Amino acid sequence: MTSADRIVPVDSAMGTLPIFRPLAKSSSRAKLELTQTVGEVQLTWRGPNQLSIPDQSVLLAAMACAKGCEVLEEQRAEPAAGQMALALLEPTGHRFQTASVWIPTTFRMLSRHCAASGHAGPNTSQVKASLKRLTETTIWMRSGDREGSTRLLAWSYSQADSVLLTLNWRLVDALCGRRYSRINLHHRGLLATDVAKALHFSLSCQIGPGGSWAYKLDNLQRHVWGDQAEGEALRQRRTKLRKALEALAGLPTWSTSWNDNVVTIKHERTARPRVETSKTKTVASYRSRRVESVTVRSNESPSASNRFHSQTEKASVHEGLAYEDVSALFNTKAGGDGHQPPPP
């Protein structure tokens, strides 16, 4: 795996809520029901099963496999198979005018990328189980009297090891360099516990390279578990968080300093992966940002989708709220790579 392959772009909003949590292997999974507000837009993540850190590793593996894949515009989809695959992302029939990414890969390749992020060699059945939980997760968006929904992931397979994935448009946005954060799979793989991996993911989405932020130790609970514990459970969580922060500080680009129960976490600035230039149209042409090169079909005609993608970083939040312009809802004012200071 090259240094560029170790960096995976993800939707920054996914790090502001504990969508993926450390779960005990023997415990039954509660339902996923989390709500956040971005500007005047309410996002709700909903699913029949709470997602785990190994599930997060499978999603990151899918994002890693997406590099170099074709970007498919909705208007250029094949009449049958293409439209069917895109429809899988829209369980309620709402259609967002945007591009999609098809990822032809294998369970073995997904397992390999999971191993790179610290979950050594999940077998095919484990990867399939995670993919099912990811595809069952729906993102609901509401602003005023407007509402829409989209699946996190779609997948299908027909051979023993081959699988075709289709990414949610918000994940495609991350690949295209809009409102994204970078997750270093190599650094993640150096972390031994799910708590440390959860903390690394959350902080990577909240603290951009060159940034720092101070947290009360107890307040970090909600970034990992989503709630505040008490009594013995609180003491156990404090111990796990301190060990996770110690492991995080051992990574090349992270450092921590303490003042009583307040920890200041600094994310050192690092060089971005080198971007290959190409005469073919790339994902960067949708976002006007330097990101990983992804080849798309040439000779594309202008479309509503292209106009949707031409919005700049300075576009206002929730402007108009037309479904074809829904990406603008999440383009809030922020510095650097779209990171905003998290609450302490």
In a domain, 262, yes or no: no
What was the pLDDT predicted at 38? 75
The residues, any chain, with a CB within 8 Å of residue 17's CB and separated by 6 or more, are: 34, 36, 45, 226
Confidence of residue 335 (pLDDT cuts 50, 70, 90): very low
In a domain, 248, yes or no: no
Taking residues 266-276, report their average pLDDT. Answer: 62
- Residue-by-residue DSSP string for 257-309: EEETTEEEEEE---PPPPPPP-SS-BTHHHHTS-----BB-SSPPP-HHHHHH
What was the pLDDT predicted at 273? 42
Q: List alpha helices for the chain, DSSP H.
A: 53-65, 81-87, 107-116, 124-135, 169-175, 185-189, 194-206, 221-224, 231-249, 284-287, 304-309
In a domain, 181, yes or no: yes
In a domain, 98, yes or no: yes
In a domain, 38, yes or no: yes
- What separation in angstroms does the CA of 260 have from each of 9, 117, 219, 257? 34, 32, 14, 10
Helix (H, G, I), strand (E, B) or coil at 56: helix
Contact in structure between 22 and 198 (CB atoms under 8 Å): yes
What was the pLDDT predicted at 322? 30
What was the pLDDT predicted at 282? 37
Rg (CA), the chain: 19
Tell me the helix, strand and coil percentages in the chain, rounded to 5. Answer: 35, 25, 40
- Residue-by-residue DSSP string for 3-24: TTTTEEEEEGGGGTTTSEE---
Pull the structure tokens for residue 37: 């507000």
Count, residues in the chain: 344
What was the pLDDT predicted at 221? 93
What was the pLDDT predicted at 177? 65
Which tens digit of pLDDT belongs to each residue from 64-82? 888 766 555 544 444 343 4
Q: Which of residues 50 and 118 earns the better pLDDT score?
A: 50
In a domain, 342, yes or no: no
Share of the chain above pLDDT 90, in %: 34
Closest to 36 measured CA to CA, from 27, 49, 45: 45
Judged against a pLDDT cut of 50, whether residue 324 lies above it is answered with no
Judged against a pLDDT cut of 90, whether residue 180 lies above it is answered with no
Confidence of residue 124 (pLDDT cuts 50, 70, 90): confident
Contact in structure between 22 and 194 (CB atoms under 8 Å): yes
The amino acid sitting at 177 is: G
Which 8-state DSSP code applies to residue 48?
S
Q: Indicate the range of 177-186, 195-204, 217-226, 235-244 predicted with least confidence.
A: 177-186
Judged against a pLDDT cut of 60, whether residue 321 lies above it is answered with no
Which tens digit of pLDDT belongs to each residue from 283-307? 334 333 333 333 333 333 433 333 3
Share of the chain above pLDDT 70, in %: 63
The amino acid sitting at 325 is: D
* Sheet with 162-167, side-by-side order of all strands: 71-73, 99-106, 162-167, 153-156
Strand partners, 38: 41
Taking residues 175-199, report their average pLDDT. Answer: 88
Q: Which residue in the block uniquely carries the two structure tokens 């690092």?
A: 270
Which tens digit of pLDDT belongs to each residue from 37-56? 877 888 899 999 999 999 99
What was the pLDDT predicted at 257? 96
Q: Find the domain containing 29 and state its range.
A: 7-206+272-330
Which tens digit of pLDDT belongs to each residue from 139-172? 888 888 888 888 888 888 777 778 888 887 778 7
Specify the number of domains making up the chain: 1
Confidence of residue 184 (pLDDT cuts 50, 70, 90): very high
Q: Which of residues 16 and 329 earns the better pLDDT score?
A: 16
Query: What is the pTM (predicted TM-score) of this model?
Result: 0.71
Round the average pLDDT of the chain to a whole number and report it: 72
Contact in structure between 254 and 268 (CB atoms under 8 Å): yes
What was the pLDDT predicted at 25? 80
In a domain, 335, yes or no: no
Contact in structure between 154 and 89 (CB atoms under 8 Å): yes
What was the pLDDT predicted at 205? 92
Q: Which residue in the block uniquely carries the two structure tokens 């191993």?
A: 115
In a domain, 245, yes or no: no
